[in-house]
């Protein structure tokens, strides 16, 4: 098996272990392989090892990989910030977008999503801890944005996405992830049965360094890059 194949298996084992520890079924958490900065050959190896969902941050880089991998049935997720002049490329080329944080962007994406494609699957990014990156809506604003997305014809509201500030301390990681899960549960309960909320089932939370605590707190999708593909240069 390739190193990437071995790494993938290690991450899958980690997900299984974390789910068991949390008393959750192993299939409660899906794995998004974050391939940013790695080439099409690396994605191909991960696909050969059974991975089909891939996350990318940079639109141009992602489009190049998509073109090189047209022969494979891959599901592409955009997990990076989207400037409004890039929204059409996202609407036309990705299956998912995890970082919606404004009504204006949501409206543009719905307008631009081609009719022949399934609705764009979207998560609202929430700045759960007020972190310095400032990306995402404040927790108190998440409901309004979700409601607007639920009413847009070419978007499918799937859930929330968070990127907390890094903490080495596991208890601190867990506490922040629990806040995200509590918000996710509150929104799901308050809107149960509302039109457009049928597929609100995704809490995109946890990366290489905080995957286990994210799963303990109730993540349903972890976004893992370096544990699968190796380390990246710190600045691109």
Ligand X SMILES: *Cc1c(COP(=O)(O)O)cnc(C)c1O
Which positions lie near ligand X, rule CB under 6 A?
34, 36, 57, 79, 163, 207-209, 223-227
Q: Are 95 and 121 in contact (CB under 8 A)?
A: yes
Least separation in angstroms between residue 207's CB and ligand X is 4
CA dihedral 109, 206, 34, 8 (to 10 degrees): -140
Would you call 229 helix, strand, or coil by DSSP?
helix
Least separation in angstroms between residue 193's CB and ligand X is 31
Least separation in angstroms between residue 155's CB and ligand X is 19
Report which of 75, 80, 82 is spatially closest to residue 54, judged by C-alpha positions. Answer: 75
Nearer to ligand X (CB atom), residue 34 or residue 66 = 34
Question: What is the spatial distance between Cα 233 and Cα 70, in angstroms, rounded to a whole number?
Answer: 27
Nearer to ligand X (CB atom), residue 34 or residue 91 = 34
Whose CB is nearest to ligand X?
225
Least separation in angstroms between residue 39's CB and ligand X is 16
Least separation in angstroms between residue 161's CB and ligand X is 8
Nearer to ligand X (CB atom), residue 63 or residue 151 = 63
Question: What is the spatial distance between Cα 51 and Cα 46, in angstroms, rounded to a whole number?
Answer: 6
Q: Compute how many other C-beta atoms are within 10 angstroms of the C-beta atom of residue 106.
A: 24
Q: Compute how many other C-beta atoms are within 10 angstroms of the C-beta atom of residue 39.
A: 13
Nearer to ligand X (CB atom), residue 71 or residue 168 = 168
Nearer to ligand X (CB atom), residue 112 or residue 208 = 208
């Amino acid at each position: 098996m390739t190193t990437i194949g071995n790494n993938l298996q290690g991450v899958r084992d980690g997900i299984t272990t974390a789910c068991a520890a949390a008393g959750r079924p192993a299939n409660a958490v899906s794995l998004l392989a974050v391939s940013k900065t790695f080439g099409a050959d690396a994605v191909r190896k991960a696909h050969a090892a059974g991975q089909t969902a891939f996350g990318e941050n940079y639109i141009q880089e992602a489009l190049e990989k998509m073109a090189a991998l047209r022969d494979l049935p891959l599901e592409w997720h955009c997990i990076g910030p989207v400037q409004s002049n890039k929204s059409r490329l996202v609407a036309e080329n990705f299956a998912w977008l995890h970082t919606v944080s404004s009504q204006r962007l949501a409206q543009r994406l719905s307008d631009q999503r081609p009719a022949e494609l399934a609705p764009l699957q979207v998560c609202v990014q929430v700045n759960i801890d007020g972190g310095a990156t400032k990306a995402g809506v404040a927790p108190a604003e998440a409901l309004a944005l979700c409601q607007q997305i639920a009413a847009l014809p070419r978007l499918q509201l799937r859930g929330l996405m968070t990127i907390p500030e890094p903490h080495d301390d596991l208890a601190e990681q867990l506490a922040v992830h629990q806040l995200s899960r509590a918000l996710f549960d509150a929104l799901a309960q308050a809107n149960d049965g509302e039109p457009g909320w049928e597929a609100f089932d995704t809490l995109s939370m946890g990366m290489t360094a905080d995957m286990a605590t994210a799963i303990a707190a109730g993540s349903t999708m972890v976004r893992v890059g370096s544990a699968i593909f190796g380390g990246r240069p710190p600045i691109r």
